[in-house]
Amino acid sequence: MNKINKILVKLSNRYASKWVVLLFDLCLVVFTFFLAYLIRYNFEISFDLEKFFLQIPFVLIAATISFFIVSSHRGVVRFTGVKDVVNIVVGINLLATILIISTYVSRQYKYDSIFDIAGSVIYIHLLLNVFFLIGAKFFIKSIYHSIISDHHLMNKNGHKILIYGAGNSGMVTYEAITNDSKSNIEIFGFIDDNVKKIGKKINLLEVYDPKKITTEFIEKHKIDEIIISIQVISSERLLEITKEFLAKSIKVKITPPVQQWIDGDLQVSQIKDVNIEDLLGREPISIKNPVLVEEYDNKVILVSGAAGSIGSEIARKLTKFNYKKLILVDVAESPLYDLQQEFIQNDIKQFEVIVADVRNTVRMNQIFASYRPQFVFHAAAYKHVPLMENNPYEAVSVNVSGTINMSNLAIKFGVNKFVMISTDKAVNPTNVMGATKRIAELYISCLNKKGNTKFITTRFGNVLGSNGSVIPLFKKQIEKGGPLTVTHKDITRYFMTIPEACSLVLEAAAMGNGGEIFVFDMGKSVKIFDLAVNMITLSGLNYPTDIDIKITGLRPGEKIYEELLANGENTRPTYHEKIMIAKSKKIDTKVTLNLIIELHQNNPKCQTLDIVSKIKEIVPEYISNNSKFEVLDSPRN
């Protein structure tokens, strides 16, 4: 057995030389050429054998030229796929074309030679080549995978799976698994909701009715996993299927959307567990814009707040471009160090990591003077609503004063574009954090005409998986056995993934001309209570029997419903259907600037109530909710 194992390991790690593949193909071409003559002459050797043998070298030369043109001999036989088949067919047709042209020329000039091959022989030869060349490669591929797969199943703890979906996507998943020679997965069958497919067989595998997949069925056939492979499926239906099978103690996975497949092909490694992102109830936002490549080419780019969830992902996405220098600035030393090590391990070049505070004007001036950035992505901010409600001084210091420092330096040093990351909590704010972010928006909009720098704002909702977001909190609470804490049963939020949020930022920088506030069409808002129930379900547990949900009451400054547009704002479209520009109501730039600068300069000297009072003066729509600062709204109501 050990000898067999060693032989099979060597076999799986070795590949046939391209010259061996070419020789094999040429041998088949000669064989099919002889067979074509036999078929043409009714399987009697009544043709000129001497002429036939003289034609073989010419046919071999023509075939070699054809196969070299399409490089069909370079393909790895064990991984033969549709593209390889197309290549072979093109090569075979090139061979037939060469033979037809040589025959035509030979007959045109009435020169009876080895180049004159009967047209019927050429066409029969072409068809036989298609059958034998393609068939031989798939036969070898099948034998190889059969041997290797049997070996893996014998030597590993292989597991059986059912593919939910017997359509095109299900077949792609089937092919991806069966073509992976190192996989120890055995496909038992398919499941489908379509009654017309139930009971039929695909590649000798039965299509089952979902109702038939009972606990007894799973135990009897030792099914370990269900892979959901349906490209168009609602979040409700996905949750329903997931919940049904998790309740039967069977793992559930899902294939990713087609746009995420690698070079159009699904890889087994891409099949993943069902995540909460899959249950958002909206299509993932995909942004592909070739303009971005030119936009960031040979540019010096600075990212503030680079150690945070958004800032670090912006930095990662920027590494895909041919930038000149990437400057990563943050005051948080440990996470910045982690990002630095990540970049080093990924062999990313031309980046600098700087521990610095955006509030420190002198230090930031030194950084701008040293590196002369052409793009600034300003992600540095305090974002936790309850913390900032109790610390308005710090909220103003970072969110307002930090933005003032960075934007003023952008004008001073001639930065091309300044992109600020804002939040939906800046819309009709009910808390200090949201109001300070709104002030930051107002300040950079006032600066837009002051210099050559184009100031752009991106405004989006909650980011799944970001530091301090509800998803990591729920995961920790589930690990501890619950309960999950939700502030209000009706509270809703808009959600997007971190990559989506950062794609918006990079897209905004490319399309922005200055002064815009970009907002996302993020679909439906999500009830946090439902999100909590779904996360319990995805953990293989039940609500409320296994884990309960506790309603704790709204926190200071917290809204039940979030908004993406303020009163008096509406939107106009951009070239991307999911990105819009908020048309803000007009403001008195001079008055607004003076008020913001006064807040910035006097913030260290003011008491808490004075700070919040000044914030409310700058942002009239800021009405406190469930907060001690509601007292400041009374005279204005």
> Could you tell me if 378 and 455 are in contact, meaning their C-beta atoms sit under 8 angstroms apart?
no
SS (H, E, C) 207-266: EECHHHCCHHHHHHHCEEEEEECCCCCCHHHHHHHHHHHHCCCCEEEECCCHHHCECCEC
Round to whole Å and give the CA distance between 456 and 375.
11
> Could you tell me if 572 and 584 are in contact, meaning their C-beta atoms sit under 8 angstroms apart?
no
> Could you tell me if 495 and 282 are in contact, meaning their C-beta atoms sit under 8 angstroms apart?
no
Q: Measured between alpha carbons, how far is residue 596 from residues 368, 399, 517, 611, 614 in Å?
A: 23, 12, 19, 11, 9
Give DSSP secondary structure letters for 440-463.
HHHHHHHHTTTSSPEEEEEEE-EE
DSSP 204: T
> Could you tell me if 201 and 207 are in contact, meaning their C-beta atoms sit under 8 angstroms apart?
yes
Both tokens of 432, joined, read 């200090």
φ, ψ at 227 (rounded to 5°): -110, 115
Round to whole Å and give the CA distance between 336 and 330.
7
> Could you tell me if 468 and 308 are in contact, meaning their C-beta atoms sit under 8 angstroms apart?
no
425 catalytic? Reply is yes
Place of tokens 């918006």: 504
Round to whole Å and give the CA distance between 212 and 195.
13
Q: Measured between alpha carbons, how far is residue 148 from residues 2, 161, 179 in Å?
A: 15, 19, 11
Q: Measured between alpha carbons, how far is residue 619 from residues 180, 478, 595, 625, 628 in Å?
A: 59, 39, 10, 15, 18
Of 155, 213, 158, which is closest to residue 187 (Cα–Cα)? 158
* Active-site hit among 383, 417, 425, 437: 425
Both tokens of 555, joined, read 């926190």
Round to whole Å and give the CA distance between 165 and 91.
36
Round to whole Å and give the CA distance between 273 and 253.
4
φ, ψ at 3 (rounded to 5°): -65, -40
Longest CA span, the chain = 112
Of 332, 334, 296, which is closest to residue 314 (Cα–Cα)? 296
Place of tokens 């409600």: 389
* Residues forming a β-bridge with 225: 161, 251
Both tokens of 554, joined, read 């709204």
Round to whole Å and give the CA distance between 167 and 235.
19
Both tokens of 496, joined, read 């997007």
> Could you tell me if 397 and 361 are in contact, meaning their C-beta atoms sit under 8 angstroms apart?
no
> Could you tell me if 427 and 566 are in contact, meaning their C-beta atoms sit under 8 angstroms apart?
yes
Place of tokens 């379900």: 537
Q: Kindly give, in sequence order, each residue whose CB lies less than 8 Å from that of residue 467, ignoring residues fewer than 6 positions away.
A: 308, 309
Give DSSP secondary structure letters for 483-526.
-EEES-TT-EE-EEEHHHHHHHHHHHHHH--SS-EEEE---S-E
Helix (H) or strand (E) holding 8: helix 2-13
Round to whole Å and give the CA distance between 494 and 489.
16
Which residues are the active-site residues? 425
